[in-house]
């Protein structure tokens, strides 16, 4: 029988088909992946993950409310001088933080906020646009160039898109310069700009005052400069307390300046205004210098220029003595009296250390001038919190106001028997909490409120003189025009108070946040240990120096009876001290070298971990995965 021969099996076409299928699948997968990456830039524009420890790039609930409630299309333009800041890495890093925050807001707005970033190069139209928008350039850029780093915002008429809307801005505001020192208030400043741009009309504020803050047109007296500044930003309404029954709902902020003998109905109206959530700023004073209330010549008593709100303060848990003035010789102002310059401890110039830089109102202020100011404290049964804004140094003393009045011709008398109380007296503060009504007997009246909501606040200031022109501005003639030049930040303090309180509850909830600068905690710990070592050595050196000086005094002629051996012993003591001083200086250098060595060793370890260890671990994992996969494939039949 012959063998049956089968035709040969050809495998090449089958392998080719599998290879072609694999290549086709890879090409399709690549196309799909690229398409997903490109399209996800649009789909996921509003989907972000904040992995920072302090949630720096996550908008607070107050900012989210402001952005979600925008009713008008807005355009934000971030001006940043790229070329001029190439040698300023800290500012460039902060610019990235600002840009990320603005991009997050623009993404959240769903098109209601348009963001543009512009580099205003010198002598360009963009530079002129930045200046026209109200931005303030800073000096110190590369090659002496000016540095622009601010935000211009405008309201667009019509719609959020199209050239017509962009060509017709209704209103414009600006943040002149993003100061890195205010980084913790970055979100507040931007949210405030958005909130103000979204407002159609100026907010209304009310003023009740027994002082001539509005001037006297009949006598040609102008309003105080502080009030003129408020009138530029707000619609100011003067309220007559004698006819006040209820504070209108349109009043965003009520300024109560030097309240004296207010009618009961007016006090009740103020009480209910606060309990409704109204924003109140109270200026009281133990001695208002512009109060022209006369004294009684018959009895010889001094005029009473004090003001107080005893009934409301008692209900709020506030302690305030209208007959007590704070002296602070550490911050006494120098005044001219009878042709000579004298230091007046009742007239104070508070510097940055006495201002609360953790509060948005006083964060960027440098100096506030006060005169014959009182102070606040909390009663033992108070439920509210007192958050200081302005306070004295610990070298301060509280004295009767009559003593200050009696020393008006010779302020040096106030320094006699001066005894510091070692207390930081509070001149101005936020009072935050839930307030009870000061009029429980009116509980049956319609609409009466017995208590405010939790978290309400009142601003208390124990001085009215800080509002007067003489404490913070002076006239200056420029090109024939009389201008008021400020030498203190009193006006900004008042404007910041009203500006902060006039915002919505959402804006007030945007507090200061952490900064993006993360400290090297391990390095700081090493430095702290070294500082302690240095401190101990310095104290040891000072002790030995004092002992040597005392010994040298004993070796002087006529002291100790050493006679002719005086100079020899003196030289020996000096030489011993010099040798010991050299030894201690060497120890100080050794401590510094040890600190630097520990920091360098830490840096070297970090470099090895980042450059060698981590890549080696990744490579090892990759090799292990490949080896296991190869081994598994070999075991397959």
Residues 543 and 485 both lie in one domain: no
Check if the beta carbon of residue 394 is closer than 8 Å to that of residue 424: yes
pLDDT at position 345 is 95
Residues 243 and 162 both lie in one domain: no
pLDDT digits 0-9 by tens, 393-415: 999 999 999 999 999 889 989 99
599 domain residue, yes or no: yes
Answer whether residue 388 shows pLDDT above 60: yes
Residues 221 and 167 both lie in one domain: no
pLDDT at position 168 is 44
**C-alpha distances out from residue 618 to 400, 608, 630, 631, Å:** 75, 14, 18, 20
Answer with the residue of higher pLDDT: 362 or 161: 362
pLDDT at position 569 is 67
User: Cα–chain-centroid distance for residue 555?
Assistant: 58
pLDDT at position 162 is 42
Phi, psi of 582, deg, nearest 5:
-65, -40
Check if the beta carbon of residue 547 is closer than 8 Å to that of residue 554: no
Answer whether residue 106 shows pLDDT above 60: yes
417 domain residue, yes or no: no
pLDDT at position 34 is 76
| Final residue in a domain of this structure, among 197, 230, 264 | 197
Residues 287 and 223 both lie in one domain: yes
Answer whether residue 330 shows pLDDT above 80: yes
Q: What is the CATH number of the domain that holds 139?
A: 3.40.30.10
pLDDT at position 189 is 87
Contacts of 533 (CB under 8 A, 6+ apart): 591
597 domain residue, yes or no: yes
397 domain residue, yes or no: no
Residues 218 and 267 both lie in one domain: yes
pLDDT bucket at 596, cuts 50 / 70 / 90: low
pLDDT bucket at 213, cuts 50 / 70 / 90: very high
Query: What value does the mean pLDDT take over residues 262-289?
Result: 96
pLDDT digits 0-9 by tens, 187-211: 888 988 998 888 878 889 999 999 9
Query: In percent, how much of the chain has pLDDT > 70?
Result: 75
Looking up tokens 């405010």, which residue turns up?
452
184 domain residue, yes or no: yes
339 domain residue, yes or no: no
pLDDT digits 0-9 by tens, 421-439: 999 999 999 999 999 999 9
Q: What is the CATH number of the domain that holds 213?
A: 3.40.50
51 domain residue, yes or no: no
pLDDT bucket at 375, cuts 50 / 70 / 90: very high
pTM exceeds cut of 0.85? no
Instruction: Name the strand (E) or helix (H) holding 227.
Output: helix 225-233
Domain of residue 116 covers 61-197
Residues 104 and 252 both lie in one domain: no
Residues 272 and 382 both lie in one domain: yes
Give CA–CA dist 178/91, Å, rounded.
Answer: 9
CB atoms within 10 A of CB 143: 9
pLDDT at position 272 is 97
Paired residues of 326 in beta bridges:
398
Question: Any idea which of 100-114, 146-160, 321-335 has the lowest mean pLDDT?
Answer: 146-160
pLDDT at position 360 is 85
Characterize the bridge pairing of strands 149-156 and 169-175: antiparallel
340 domain residue, yes or no: no
């Amino acid at each position: 029988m012959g063998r049956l021969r089968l035709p040969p099996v050809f495998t090449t076409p089958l392998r080719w088909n599998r290879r072609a299928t694999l290549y086709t699948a890879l090409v399709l997968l690549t196309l799909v992946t690229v398409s997903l990456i490109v399209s996800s830039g649009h789909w996921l524009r509003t989907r972000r993950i904040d992995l920072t420890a302090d949630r720096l790039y996550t908008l607070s609930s107050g900012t989210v409310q402001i952005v979600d409630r925008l009713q008008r299309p807005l355009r934000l333009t971030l001006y940043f001088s790229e070329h001029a800041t190439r040698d300023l890495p800290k500012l460039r890093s902060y610019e990235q933080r600002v840009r990320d925050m603005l991009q997050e807001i623009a993404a959240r707005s769903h098109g209601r906020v348009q963001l543009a970033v512009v580099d205003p190069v010198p002598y360009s139209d963009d530079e002129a646009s930045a200046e026209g928008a109200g931005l303030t350039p800073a000096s110190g850029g590369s090659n002496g160039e000016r540095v622009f780093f601010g935000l211009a915002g405008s309201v667009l008429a019509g719609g959020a898109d199209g050239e017509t809307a962009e060509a017709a801005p209704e209103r414009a505001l600006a943040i002149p310069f993003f100061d890195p020192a205010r980084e913790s208030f970055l979100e507040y400043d931007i949210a405030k700009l958005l909130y103000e741009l979204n407002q159609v009309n100026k907010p209304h504020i009310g003023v009740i005052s027994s002082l001539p803050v509005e001037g006297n047109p009949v006598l040609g007296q102008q309003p105080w400069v502080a009030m003129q500044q408020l009138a530029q930003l707000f619609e100011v309404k003067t309220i007559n307390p004698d006819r006040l029954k209820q504070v209108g709902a349109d009043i965003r902020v009520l300024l109560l300046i030097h309240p004296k003998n207010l009618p009961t109905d007016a006090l009740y109206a103020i009480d209910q205004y606060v309990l409704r959530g109204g924003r109140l700023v109270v200026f009281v004073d133990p001695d208002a210098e512009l109060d022209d209330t006369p004294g009684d010549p018959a009895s010889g008593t001094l005029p009473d220029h004090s003001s107080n709100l005893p009934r409301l303060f008692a209900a709020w848990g506030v302690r305030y003595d209208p007959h007590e003035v704070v002296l602070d010789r550490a911050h006494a102002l120098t005044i001219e009296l009878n042709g000579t310059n004298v230091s007046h401890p009742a007239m104070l110039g508070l510097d940055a250390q006495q201002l609360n830089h953790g509060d948005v109102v006083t964060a960027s202020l440098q100096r506030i001038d006060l005169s014959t100011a009182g102070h606040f404290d909390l009663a033992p049964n108070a439920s509210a919190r007192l958050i200081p804004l302005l306070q004295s140094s610990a070298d301060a003393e509280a004295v009767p106001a009559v003593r200050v009045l009696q020393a008006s011709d010779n302020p040096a008398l106030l320094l006699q028997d001066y005894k510091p109380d070692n207390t930081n007296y509070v001149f101005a503060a936020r009072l935050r909490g839930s307030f009870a009504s000061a009029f429980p007997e009116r509980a049956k009246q319609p609409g009466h409120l017995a208590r405010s909501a939790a978290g309400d606040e009142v601003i208390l200031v124990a001085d009215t003189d800080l509002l007067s022109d003489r404490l913070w501005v002076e006239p200056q003639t420029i090109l024939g025009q009389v201008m008021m030049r400020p030498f203190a930040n009193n006006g900004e303090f008042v404007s910041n108070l009203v500006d902060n309180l006039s915002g919505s509850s959402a804006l007030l909830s945007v507090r200061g946040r952490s900064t993006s600068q993360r400290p090297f905690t391990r390095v700081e710990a090493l430095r702290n240990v070294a500082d302690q070592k240095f401190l101990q050595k310095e104290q040891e050196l000072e002790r030995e120096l004092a002992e040597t000086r005392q010994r040298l005094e004993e070796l002087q002629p006529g002291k100790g009876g050493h006679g002719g051996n005086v100079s020899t012993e003196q030289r020996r003591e000096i030489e011993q001290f010099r040798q010991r001083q050299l030894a201690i200086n060497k120890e100080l250098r050794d401590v510094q070298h040890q600190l630097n060595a520990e920091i360098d060793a830490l840096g070297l370890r970090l470099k090895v971990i980042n450059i060698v260890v981590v890549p080696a671990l990744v490579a090892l994992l990759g090799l292990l995965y490949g080896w296991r996969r190869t081994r598994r494939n070999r075991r397959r039949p």
